[in-house]
Structure 1
Amino acid sequence: MRHSPSLSAFLALAALGLLAGCATPTPYQPYQPEMSAGVHGGYSDQQVGADRFRVRFHGNELTSRDRVEGYLLYRAAELTLQKGYDWFEIVDRHTEHDVQTYVRPDPFYRPWYGQAYGYWRPHWRYYRPGAGWGYWHPEFGDPFWSHSVDVQRVESFEAEAEIIVRKGPKPAAEARGFDARTVMTDLGPSIELPKAR
């Protein structure tokens, strides 16, 4: 299917407009699915026992692993205090790393002669010092100037932890334990909330 150059330009501008709304890392927010308005991703939690919770933070393609894991820890501390507890212990945790590679033709490359006329496309002779004259034709050899592609590697992270919430002061010997107020004080300045619309 062939599109006119003006339609191709319009589609490219429309895609850029849609991407502009997604051009920020996931802020600290309740989970938003990909197709919702605003930036997708965020935290979610689920109670799995009387004093146990599963906490998740899902970052979009612009959110670093450090940010995802920091926001997960902050949410665990916030949830601990919301439920009336003082500290929490991480009993299980993991981070998923998703990588996708996209290879797309350049949307702005549209030869005036069309794809169906390969033999009639332009061809060149060129000179390379030390090698002499070379010949290029779109039907033979490497693409050279004939095609342009965009290769993009996209990464996203999702962290999950199961926590047990506790009351009273955290025991000094508890290596997997975190005082919720200390975590919120330490990480609070780095937490980015969603921008008001």
Structure 2
Amino acid sequence: MKTPLALVACALVLGACATAQPTVYRPQANASDVGFTQYKMEDGRYRVTFRGGSGAPVGQVTDYALLRAAELALADGYSWFRVADRVTQSTGGGGGPTFSVGGGSGSYGRRSSVGLGVGTSFNLGPKPALSTTLEVVFGKGPRPPGEAYDAQSVVNTIGKGMGRI
């Protein structure tokens, strides 16, 4: 009885040691890193992706993508931007607990036996990582009505929340 209990305890301890990758605002070194990438499609139009760490909240991942879009707009001399397309994806991690039931029988000479087993498993690994990709269109002058963002306001608001300002 001690051995199965010790194995369960070891599995729980090792599962708790799995560290989540922190979400940091920086360029990605490669496709599996946390951070942002950008691709200039044409003048005034970019595709910006931010990939968060394991378990990063969707709001934070989206905010960081918006922040990068605002920084690009200001760097290119634009005052506002509009999100033309948005895709949020979840990668890695696993589902929740799984349960299984099994049965069997056997014959041993003159004796037969029937068995029933119940099992469960839990994913103790890291949570899924989220990424948000925005296709943004930049503009100059007064911000148009609707869903356009003032680039400087986004940098001030989200950047301040990150402690960057």
Query: Structure 2 matches for 1:141-152, cutoff 5 A?
Result: 141-142=116-117, 149-152=121-124
Aligned to 1:181: 152
Gaps (5+ residues) in structure 2?
1-9, 97-113
Aligned to 1:96: 89
1:31 to 10, 24, 28: 28
Contact 2:45 2:135 in 1 (8 A): yes
The alignment-based identity, stated in percent, is 28
In 2: Cα distance, 1:91 partner to 1:51 partner: 12
Change in Cα spacing, 1:150 to 1:93, as seen in structure 2 (3 Å) is closer
Runs of 4+ in 1 over 6 A off after TM superposition: none
2:47 to 54, 71, 93: 54
Question: Alignment partner of 2:155: what SS?
Answer: helix
1:141-162 CA-to-partner distances (Å, cap 9, x unmatched) read: 3368xxx854237322110111
Superposition deviation, residue 164 in structure 1: 1.2
In 1: Cα distance, 2:163 partner to 2:129 partner: 18
- TM-score norm. by structure 2 comes to 0.67
In 1: Cα distance, 2:40 partner to 2:62 partner: 20
1:87 to 80, 83, 95: 80
In 2: Cα distance, 1:64 partner to 1:90 partner: 20
Aligned residues: 136
Superposition deviation, residue 34 in structure 1: 6.9
Superposition deviation, residue 183 in structure 1: 0.8
1:155-192 CA-to-partner distances (Å, cap 9, x unmatched) read: 22110111111122213x2x121110111111122226
2:133 to 148, 160, 180: 160
Contact 1:74 1:187 in 2 (8 A): yes
Letter in 2 for 1:142: G
Question: Alignment partner of 1:48: what SS?
Answer: strand
- TM-score norm. by structure 1 comes to 0.57
In 2: Cα distance, 1:26 partner to 1:32 partner: 14
Contact 2:44 2:137 in 1 (8 A): yes
Contact 1:91 1:176 in 2 (8 A): no
Superposition deviation, residue 102 in structure 1: 7.1
Q: CA RMSD in A?
A: 3.2
1:45 to 35, 38, 45: 38
In 2: Cα distance, 1:151 partner to 1:186 partner: 37
Superposition deviation, residue 32 in structure 1: 3.3
Aligned to 1:5: none
Superposition deviation, residue 100 in structure 1: 3.6
Gaps (5+ residues) in structure 1?
1-8, 104-138
Greater per-residue strand proportion? 2
